[in-house]
Amino acid sequence: MKKFRAHPLLLFALIVAVVLLLPLLAAYDPMRMGNAPYLAPTLAHPAGTDSFGRDVLSRVLAGMQQTALMGLASVVTAVAMGGLLSVIAQMKAIAAIVQAVVMAGLSIPPLILMLAIITWLGQSSLAAAAAVGIAYSFGVARILINAAAAEGQEPHVEAAYALGASRWHMLIQHVLPGLTGLLASYAVLVFAYSVTQLAGLSFLGVTGTPGAPELGLMMAESRYTIRDAPWAGIAPALAVIALIVIANRLSDEMTRRS
């Protein structure tokens, strides 16, 4: 009997859905302060409490949901903007200009570009997600432009052109279907990049309200109490690592299948 294996993209969607539902498992209000700060892990508080007596595990579960939502928003932004740039690049009259814009965007360090966008949009979680998505949209565009050029040389595409198909008909009917696997695997990889950058931006304190249950912000707050309560920083760090590793493994599996 053939062993059933779920498609990596469906598995990724399932994992994201589980992450988004994690706060339902929280035993405590992630914002509620307690009277037992620096409490080591116990049965009542499996990941201990932080300097304000807040349950670390409940805050990590809420933080994973927040990070996953922001990461998905970044992926949607990156794919939408990158896809639009790659489509515009198919117009011969302005293809060179679009590719120059893409290369210019890739030449800017992502963190610098993100901070500039956040400064323009204002400090918020939504602005941070948009900034990360815009920063990675140039990479999406570059990959799609190169892949479209390679796909356009395939025999079935050349045959369609020989039969009189228009450029846009070939692009929509013959080129784009061949890029879906590549785009899906790279989108999952962008999610991993986004989690890393969002955690970093949150650590810098430019994504939301101080004290909010965000993974990067939790790590930033715990650096002052690392000797007294190391678990307050270790737990959110492990959550970030878990999200990144899962996304990277799924992206690798999707690349092998495409």
Query: What is d(CA 53, CA 33) in angstroms, rounded to the nearest whole number?
Result: 5
- Smallest CA-to-CA distance from 12 within 170, 184, 182 is with 184
Residue-level pLDDT at 8: 67
Q: Report pLDDT for 199.
A: 92
For residues 62 and 258, give the distance between their C-alpha atoms in angstroms, rounded to a whole number. 34
Contact 257, 181 (CB under 8 A): yes
* pLDDT of 142 strictly over 80: yes
pLDDT tens per residue across span 63-81: 999 898 999 999 999 999 9
Provide, for the chain, the percentages of residues in helix, strand and coil under a 3-state DSSP scheme, each rounded to the nearest 5.
70, 0, 30
Q: What are phi and psi for residue 49, nearest 5 degrees?
A: -125, 160
Higher per-residue pLDDT: 150 or 172: 150
> Mean pLDDT in the chain?
83
Among 45-59, 114-128, 164-178, name the one with the lowest average pLDDT.
Answer: 164-178
Q: Residue 60: its pLDDT value, please?
A: 93
pLDDT score at 9? 66
Query: Within 10 A of 89 (CB to CB), how many other CB atoms are there?
Result: 22
174 has a pLDDT exceeding 60: no
The pLDDT-based confidence of 165 (bands split at 50, 70, 90) is low
Judge whether residue 205 has pLDDT over 90.
no
Binned at pLDDT 50, 70 and 90, residue 135 comes out as very high
Residue 27 CA, distance from chain mean position: 27
pLDDT for 89-134, tens place per residue? 877 778 789 889 999 999 999 999 999 999 998 888 899 999 999 9
pLDDT category, 237, cuts 50, 70, 90?
very high
**Domains along the chain with CATH numbers:** 54-257 (1.10.3720.10)
> Rounded to two decimals, what is the model's pTM?
0.85
Confidence of residue 7 (pLDDT cuts 50, 70, 90): low
Q: How far is CA 62 from the centre of its chain?
A: 17
Which H/E stretch holds residue 229?
Answer: none
Please tell me the predicted confidence (pLDDT) of residue 190: 93
**Proportion of the chain above pLDDT 90, given as a percent:** 33
181 or 1, which is more confident: 181
